[in-house]
Structure 1
């Protein structure tokens, strides 16, 4: 499993996967703040520009709404594995692979309000590649192995922890937390999740060194 891959190598890899004619679904796993969204957005932009229409469908669209997290007593650890509708996500991935003659609508996640938005992302029939990033794509708990199987490949985005944690705290502050609240959330919620995610990286089809990639 390579780590020091270039952007050009990643693009060639996806083009090769798409050469068979079937719709390709690339998953990007990794710890919070590792750059999964950055890589997904870059990949979709470059593939589409090169004539391979691609759409970004984030796993975050399957966050349970805050009202349900409150009911379940889980809002204080939003982002943990059991705060997502994993089976709903799996069902969407299967539709994306199978339903290529009609538009498939996927939910997005609005960080300004910290809520999922239903039906916000169209995956039109012309789409050749779907990129979906999320924390738990390589987890062993059901139904995550089925999620992995529903994807063409799953990559793991790796980033130096000092850079990742600094970026993560800044992101929480950007979206409304005080510096103290951000640091506490990272320590009490994000990092326990990261420890669990890190144990899954050996299951990835490819490990991407985000520092070396430089996007």
Structure 2
């Protein structure tokens, strides 16, 4: 990752805005709890301040495989790992978004209900900048690595492990989980998934230290 350029987050929207031409797809990747959704929302707000509707956020959480499928595949206990996502659905959505000739509906994820919400987000065709945020967008393992050509710019969030742990524990507390279950999820699922993004990511264009 030596080619990555560290950038203050306040300057990132300006860097994105310089990418002219047609539709621009920006990948925002990082470990669970690294702040991808927050950064994407901040960037969209900054870009849309220049012109309403200029940018839209596209979350990848909606492409979780449903719990019944995960249970059938004995993957429910590792939900959130790379193999628990609908990678074909992600690829198809990115191809449709790249075309940019029509509005595209993408699913969302209800964390409280722990379920996918179909067509939760409508990405308008008029949006020039699409901020796609997800844990594994820069993963080098197959089939995730096939997504990389879809992106015009890539961003990686870099958050210290102790801070990630604190954020993840707070996330699960806010959802009312018992302390024992919080400890299990963070230690056995969230943090190992975060390590995957450290060990198997390709370099990004920009790194934001959050």
> What range describes the TM-score normalised by the shorter chain of this pair?
over 0.9
Structure 1 equivalent of residue 188 of structure 2: 188
The alignment partner of 2:141 has SS state of coil
The alignment partner of 1:120 has SS state of strand
CA RMSD of aligned residues (A): 1.4
CA distance in 1, matches of 2:158, 2:101: 35
CA distance in 1, matches of 2:209, 2:199: 16
Kept after mapping to 2: 8 A contact 1:57/1:108: no
Kept after mapping to 1: 8 A contact 2:7/2:206: no
Structure 2 equivalent of residue 134 of structure 1: 134
CA distance in 1, matches of 2:8, 2:200: 20
Kept after mapping to 2: 8 A contact 1:31/1:197: yes
Structure 2 equivalent of residue 208 of structure 1: 208
Describe how 1:82-161 pairs up with structure 2 within 5 A: 82-98=83-99, 100-161=100-161
The alignment partner of 1:57 has SS state of strand
- Please say if 1:12 is aligned against 2:20: no
Report how many aligned residue pairs link the two structures.
Answer: 206
Kept after mapping to 2: 8 A contact 1:156/1:201: no
TM-score, length of structure 1 as denominator length: 0.91
Structure 1 equivalent of residue 62 of structure 2: 61
TM-score, length of structure 2 as denominator length: 0.93
Structure 1 equivalent of residue 5 of structure 2: 2
**Cα offsets for 1:110-135 (capped at 9, x unmatched):** 11211111111111121111111111
CA distance in 2, matches of 1:145, 1:115: 26
Runs of 4+ with deviation above 6 angstroms = none
Structure 2 unaligned blocks of 5 or more: none
CA distance in 2, matches of 1:32, 1:6: 19
Kept after mapping to 2: 8 A contact 1:40/1:131: yes
